[in-house]
Amino acid sequence: MSFRIGLGEDRHRLDEPGTGPLRIGGVDIPHDRGLVGHSDADVLLHAITDALLGAAGLPDIGQLFPNTSEENRGRDSADFLQLAYEKVKAEGYELVNLDCVIHMQEPKFAPHKEAIQIRIAELLGVSTQQVGLKAKTGEGVGPVGRGESIDARCVVFVEH
Ligand code: MG
Protein backbone atom coordinates (compact mmCIF):
# COMPACT_ATOMS: atom_id res chain seq x y z
CA MET A 1 0.00 0.00 0.00
CA SER A 2 1.25 3.47 -0.77
CA PHE A 3 0.15 6.87 0.48
CA ARG A 4 0.24 10.33 -1.02
CA ILE A 5 -0.76 13.81 0.08
CA GLY A 6 -2.23 16.72 -1.84
CA LEU A 7 -2.56 20.44 -1.15
CA GLY A 8 -5.17 22.81 -2.57
CA GLU A 9 -5.64 26.55 -2.14
CA ASP A 10 -8.14 29.00 -3.53
CA ARG A 11 -9.34 32.57 -3.16
CA HIS A 12 -12.51 34.21 -4.45
CA ARG A 13 -13.47 37.86 -4.28
CA LEU A 14 -16.64 38.83 -2.42
CA ASP A 15 -19.20 40.50 -4.66
CA GLU A 16 -21.25 43.63 -3.93
CA PRO A 17 -24.15 43.57 -1.43
CA GLY A 18 -27.30 42.03 -2.87
CA THR A 19 -25.47 39.14 -4.55
CA GLY A 20 -25.96 36.44 -1.89
CA PRO A 21 -26.36 33.73 -0.81
CA LEU A 22 -22.80 32.63 -0.22
CA ARG A 23 -21.99 29.13 -1.45
CA ILE A 24 -19.33 27.42 0.66
CA GLY A 25 -18.66 23.69 0.62
CA GLY A 26 -21.76 22.97 -1.44
CA VAL A 27 -24.07 24.77 1.00
CA ASP A 28 -25.83 28.09 0.36
CA ILE A 29 -25.25 30.22 3.45
CA PRO A 30 -27.65 33.16 3.91
CA HIS A 31 -25.53 36.30 3.38
CA ASP A 32 -25.98 39.48 1.37
CA ARG A 33 -22.77 38.96 -0.62
CA GLY A 34 -21.85 36.04 -2.85
CA LEU A 35 -18.45 35.20 -4.34
CA VAL A 36 -17.28 36.22 -7.81
CA GLY A 37 -16.26 33.44 -10.18
CA HIS A 38 -16.79 31.84 -13.56
CA SER A 39 -18.43 28.80 -11.95
CA ASP A 40 -20.51 29.05 -8.77
CA ALA A 41 -17.25 30.25 -7.09
CA ASP A 42 -17.35 27.69 -4.28
CA VAL A 43 -13.91 28.45 -2.87
CA LEU A 44 -13.87 25.51 -0.45
CA LEU A 45 -14.87 22.86 -2.99
CA HIS A 46 -12.25 24.26 -5.38
CA ALA A 47 -9.50 23.86 -2.76
CA ILE A 48 -10.59 20.29 -1.99
CA THR A 49 -10.80 19.43 -5.69
CA ASP A 50 -7.27 20.69 -6.32
CA ALA A 51 -5.90 18.86 -3.28
CA LEU A 52 -7.38 15.56 -4.48
CA LEU A 53 -6.11 16.05 -8.02
CA GLY A 54 -2.66 16.97 -6.72
CA ALA A 55 -2.49 13.88 -4.51
CA ALA A 56 -3.03 11.66 -7.56
CA GLY A 57 -0.61 13.64 -9.74
CA LEU A 58 -3.41 14.73 -12.06
CA PRO A 59 -3.81 18.09 -13.86
CA ASP A 60 -5.27 20.83 -11.66
CA ILE A 61 -8.80 22.23 -11.56
CA GLY A 62 -7.97 25.05 -13.98
CA GLN A 63 -6.70 22.59 -16.57
CA LEU A 64 -9.60 20.16 -16.19
CA PHE A 65 -12.37 22.76 -15.95
CA PRO A 66 -11.11 25.94 -17.68
CA ASN A 67 -12.72 29.25 -16.78
CA THR A 68 -12.78 30.08 -20.47
CA SER A 69 -15.27 27.30 -21.19
CA GLU A 70 -18.97 28.15 -21.56
CA GLU A 71 -19.75 24.69 -20.18
CA ASN A 72 -18.32 25.77 -16.82
CA ARG A 73 -20.13 29.12 -16.57
CA GLY A 74 -22.16 29.21 -13.36
CA ARG A 75 -21.47 25.51 -12.92
CA ASP A 76 -22.09 23.75 -9.62
CA SER A 77 -18.63 23.05 -8.16
CA ALA A 78 -20.00 19.81 -6.73
CA ASP A 79 -19.62 18.56 -10.33
CA PHE A 80 -15.91 19.48 -10.32
CA LEU A 81 -15.34 17.74 -7.01
CA GLN A 82 -17.16 14.56 -7.96
CA LEU A 83 -15.61 14.33 -11.44
CA ALA A 84 -12.15 14.95 -9.98
CA TYR A 85 -12.58 12.29 -7.30
CA GLU A 86 -13.73 9.81 -9.98
CA LYS A 87 -10.44 10.47 -11.79
CA VAL A 88 -8.49 10.04 -8.55
CA LYS A 89 -10.24 6.73 -7.86
CA ALA A 90 -9.56 5.62 -11.45
CA GLU A 91 -5.84 6.04 -10.64
CA GLY A 92 -6.35 3.60 -7.77
CA TYR A 93 -6.48 6.07 -4.87
CA GLU A 94 -9.05 6.42 -2.09
CA LEU A 95 -9.42 9.28 0.34
CA VAL A 96 -8.16 8.57 3.87
CA ASN A 97 -9.03 12.04 5.20
CA LEU A 98 -9.03 15.68 4.29
CA ASP A 99 -8.53 18.75 6.45
CA CYS A 100 -9.47 22.28 5.46
CA VAL A 101 -9.08 25.80 6.78
CA ILE A 102 -11.41 28.49 5.52
CA HIS A 103 -10.55 32.15 6.06
CA MET A 104 -13.59 34.43 6.21
CA GLN A 105 -14.43 37.53 8.17
CA GLU A 106 -18.21 37.33 7.73
CA PRO A 107 -20.60 35.60 8.21
CA LYS A 108 -19.75 33.30 11.10
CA PHE A 109 -18.76 29.84 9.87
CA ALA A 110 -19.55 27.80 12.99
CA PRO A 111 -23.36 27.66 12.59
CA HIS A 112 -22.90 26.13 9.11
CA LYS A 113 -19.97 23.82 9.79
CA GLU A 114 -21.94 20.63 10.36
CA ALA A 115 -24.11 21.06 7.24
CA ILE A 116 -20.99 21.67 5.14
CA GLN A 117 -19.19 18.68 6.62
CA ILE A 118 -22.19 16.45 5.86
CA ARG A 119 -22.45 17.81 2.31
CA ILE A 120 -18.75 17.26 1.50
CA ALA A 121 -18.87 13.73 2.95
CA GLU A 122 -21.97 13.01 0.87
CA LEU A 123 -20.38 14.34 -2.34
CA LEU A 124 -17.32 12.13 -1.84
CA GLY A 125 -19.14 9.08 -0.46
CA VAL A 126 -17.08 9.11 2.77
CA SER A 127 -17.92 9.54 6.46
CA THR A 128 -18.00 12.93 8.17
CA GLN A 129 -15.07 11.77 10.37
CA GLN A 130 -12.94 11.89 7.22
CA VAL A 131 -13.79 15.56 6.61
CA GLY A 132 -11.96 18.09 8.82
CA LEU A 133 -13.13 21.70 8.74
CA LYS A 134 -12.03 24.76 10.63
CA ALA A 135 -12.40 28.47 10.11
CA LYS A 136 -10.37 31.57 10.89
CA THR A 137 -11.34 35.22 10.64
CA GLY A 138 -9.02 37.70 9.00
CA GLU A 139 -8.69 39.60 12.29
CA GLY A 140 -9.92 42.67 10.42
CA VAL A 141 -6.73 42.96 8.34
CA GLY A 142 -5.69 41.88 4.85
CA PRO A 143 -8.11 41.00 2.02
CA VAL A 144 -9.98 38.47 4.18
CA GLY A 145 -10.27 40.78 7.17
CA ARG A 146 -11.46 43.69 5.03
CA GLY A 147 -14.20 41.47 3.59
CA GLU A 148 -12.70 41.53 0.09
CA SER A 149 -12.15 37.78 -0.27
CA ILE A 150 -12.72 34.36 1.22
CA ASP A 151 -9.74 31.98 1.12
CA ALA A 152 -9.60 28.21 1.56
CA ARG A 153 -6.82 25.67 2.04
CA CYS A 154 -7.09 21.91 2.06
CA VAL A 155 -4.76 18.97 2.54
CA VAL A 156 -5.80 15.44 1.63
CA PHE A 157 -4.28 12.06 2.40
CA VAL A 158 -4.99 9.21 -0.02
CA GLU A 159 -4.04 5.55 -0.08
CA HIS A 160 -3.42 3.38 -3.12
MG1 MG B 1 -11.77 28.85 -7.56
pLDDT in tens, 97-156: 999 999 999 999 999 999 999 999 999 999 999 999 999 999 999 999 999 999 999 999
Q: Is it the case that residue 67 has pLDDT exceeding 90?
A: no
Residue 72 is predicted with a pLDDT of: 84
pTM: 0.97
CA of 130 to the centre of ligand 1 (A): 23
Distance (Å) from CA 45 to ligand 1 centroid: 8
Q: Vertex 37, ends 58 and 45: CA angle to 5°?
A: 45
How far apart are the CA of 62 and the centre of ligand 1, in A?
8
Alpha carbon of 145 to ligand 1 centroid (Å): 19
Going by the DSSP 8-state scheme, the letter that residue 99 receives in this structure is E
Task: Give the number of other CB atoms < 10 A from CB of residue 68.
Answer: 8
Angle at 138 between CA 137 and CA 139, to 5 degrees: 90
Residue-wise pLDDT tens digits, 14-54: 999 999 999 999 999 999 999 999 999 999 999 999 999 99
Cα–Cα distance for residue pair 144/54, rounded to 1 Å: 25
pLDDT of res. 154: 98
Q: How far away, in angstroms, is 34 Cα from ligand 1 center? A: 13
- By the CB criterion, residues less than 5 angstroms from ion ligand 1 are 10, 46
Query: Percent of the chain scored above 70 by pLDDT?
Result: 100
Confidence grade of residue 73 (pLDDT, cut at 50, 70, 90)? confident
